[in-house]
């Protein structure tokens, strides 16, 4: 008589605070349902500020949701810069402590706590200490790059200390690009803990008609898009407007992002004044925060990613590539990595708006080059940035740190096997 030994599923908790509908939120929205269907994993999502809409959406997609951990209240614990930001964080400490206590009570139910932000990491570390239990789960941090709050004077020093301190509690630190892998190692994180699992994108519904409608497009207009989840100076929209001023009148610029956002107002005023000075005010269209951003991308002739900060990944660029829309990106951060040395998109120096204008003019004048560039990028991106690849690589890491068997060769071999599957 033979007996089969049941394989225990790895129980994974994903706590998250959804501040706005940005890149990390999109990755979780599309990635967690696929991860939860992976054999041997049981994934549970917990929205830590009880964002009912996000939790409902996760449940509809088939992901289990724990509604007991979060607390009521806004997801943004601070507003404004400088001292007002510090005071906001201090005011939010009681809520953060309540979340940590709730999390501590439930940690023993899970094998891995898989976090995607600095706040979530800090809460998870505090909760594990509160639990004081040997059954506390392993901690995996998917680092999506440095927080913008640390980009000012003294930021790199504070950022490195924060990352090093947080990483010491983690079994693994996943990074979203090779650029981030080098960055985090230079901060002093143990290389043995670092694994590159780049972001993924899903644009299945992108061919739907944009709603609300896009600005009226005159015959022959060449439409360029800068897609921002939030309108901030680091996204480089001002460079796109400066470049627009050097281009013929049939070029128009669409810009996504919430213009009513209080933290964006000063930058929006700056952009509107710049457009007026440059003589292109009638050709710059602020089209608001868009849940249908992929449909907007598909309607554009060109997607611009003119970031002036070190982009940890560049999800907008990857999304445009998967859609088959040509991309021009700045040379900051991981963007050149995504552009593949010019094979998958053009690159310009962000301190040179004339170079951006020249790159736009080059592609606008040559439909054949645009089509060839987009076709090559789409073939590459469809495989490189698929959620099937992402879920396999993440599952390999989560399974390994939970102590379940992995293929011979260790974690590096397991991830490489998942990547090539």
Q: Are 209 and 295 in contact (CB under 8 A)?
A: yes
Q: Is 253 exposed, middle or buried (0-12, 13-18, 19+ CB in 10 A)?
A: buried
pLDDT at 138 exceeding the cut of 90: yes
Give per-residue pLDDT as tens, 21-52. Answer: 667 888 899 999 999 999 999 999 999 987 78
| Mean pLDDT estimate for the chain | 87
Better-scored residue on pLDDT, 66 or 291: 66
What is the band of 205 on the pLDDT scale with cuts at 50, 70, 90?
A: low
Among the four given CATH numbers 3.40.50.2000, 3.40.50.10300, 3.40.190.10, 1.10.600.10, the one describing domain 222-384: 3.40.50.2000
pLDDT at 156: 62
pLDDT at 407: 38
pLDDT at 243 exceeding the cut of 80: yes
Give per-residue pLDDT as tens, 156-168. Answer: 667 788 888 889 9
pLDDT at 79: 55
Query: Which of 217, 208, 170, 413 shows the shortest CA–CA distance to 323?
Result: 208
pLDDT at 287: 97
Apex 315 CA angle, 75 and 119, nearest 5: 30
Count of C-beta atoms within a 10 Å radius of residue 107? 20
Query: Which of 289, 286, 333, 341 shows the shortest CA–CA distance to 308?
Result: 333
pTM: 0.82
End-to-end CA, the chain: 35
CA–CA dist 223, 283 (Å, integer): 10
pLDDT at 154 exceeding the cut of 80: no
CA–CA dist 317, 327 (Å, integer): 6
User: Can you give the residue ranges of every domain in the chain?
Assistant: 10-200+386-420, 222-384
pLDDT at 405 exceeding the cut of 50: no
The whole-number average pLDDT for the span 306-331 is: 95
pLDDT at 231: 94
Q: Do domains 10-200+386-420 and 222-384 have the same CATH topology?
A: yes
pLDDT at 1: 42
CA–CA dist 362, 367 (Å, integer): 10
**What is the architecture of the domain spanning 10-200+386-420?**
3-Layer(aba) Sandwich (3.40)
pLDDT at 88: 66
The whole-number average pLDDT for the span 194-199 is: 94
Q: Are 172 and 181 in contact (CB under 8 A)?
A: no
Cis geometry, peptide bond prior to residue 212 (ω within 30 degrees of 0): yes
């Amino acid at each position: 008589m033979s007996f089969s030994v049941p394989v225990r599923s790895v129980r994974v908790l994903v706590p998250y605070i959804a501040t706005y509908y940005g890149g990390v939120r999109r990755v979780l929205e599309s990635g967690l349902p696929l991860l939860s269907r992976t054999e041997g994993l049981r994934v549970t999502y917990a929205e830590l500020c009880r964002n009912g809409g996000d939790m409902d959406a996760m449940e509809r997609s088939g992901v289990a949701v724990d509604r007991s951990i979060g607390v009521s209240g806004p997801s943004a614990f601070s507003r404004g810069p400088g001292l007002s930001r510090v005071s906001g964080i201090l005011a939010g400490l009681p809520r953060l402590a309540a979340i940590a206590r709730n999390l501590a009570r439930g940690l023993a139910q899970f094998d891995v706590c898989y976090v995607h932000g600095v706040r979530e990491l800090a809460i998870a570390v505090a909760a594990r200490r509160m639990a004081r239990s040997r059954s506390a789960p392993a901690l995996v941090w998917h680092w999506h790059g440095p927080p913008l709050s640390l980009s000012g004077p003294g930021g790199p020093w504070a950022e490195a200390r924060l990352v090093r301190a947080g990483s010491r509690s983690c079994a693994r630190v996943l990074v979203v690009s090779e650029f981030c892998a080098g960055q985090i190692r230079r901060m002093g994180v143990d290389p043995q803990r670092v694994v590159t699992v780049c972001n993924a994108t899903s644009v299945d519904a992108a061919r739907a008609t944009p709603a609300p409608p896009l600005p009226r497009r005159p015959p022959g207009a060449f439409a360029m898009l800068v897609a921002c989840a939030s309108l901030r100076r680091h996204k480089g929209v001002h460079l796109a407007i400066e470049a627009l001023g050097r281009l013929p009148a049939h070029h128009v610029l669409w810009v996504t992002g919430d213009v009513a956002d209080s933290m964006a107002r000063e930058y929006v005023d700056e952009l509107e004044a710049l457009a007026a000075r440059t003589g292109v005010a009638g050709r710059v269209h602020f089209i608001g925060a868009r849940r249908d951003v992929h449909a907007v991308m598909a309607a554009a002739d060109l997607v611009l990613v003119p970031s002036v900060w070190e982009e940890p990944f560049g999800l907008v660029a990857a999304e445009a590539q998967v859609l088959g829309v040509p991309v021009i990106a700045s040379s900051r951060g991981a963007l050149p990595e995504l552009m593949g040395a010019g094979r998958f998109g053009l690159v310009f120096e962000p301190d040179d708006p004339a170079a951006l204008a020249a790159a736009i003019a080059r592609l606008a004048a040559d439909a054949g080059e645009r089509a060839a560039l987009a076709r090559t990028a789409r073939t590459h991106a469809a495989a490189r940035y698929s959620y099937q690849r992402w879920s396999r690589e993440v599952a390999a890491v989560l399974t390994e740190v939970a102590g379940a068997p992995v293929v011979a060769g260790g974690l590096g071999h397991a991830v490489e096997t998942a990547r090539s599957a």
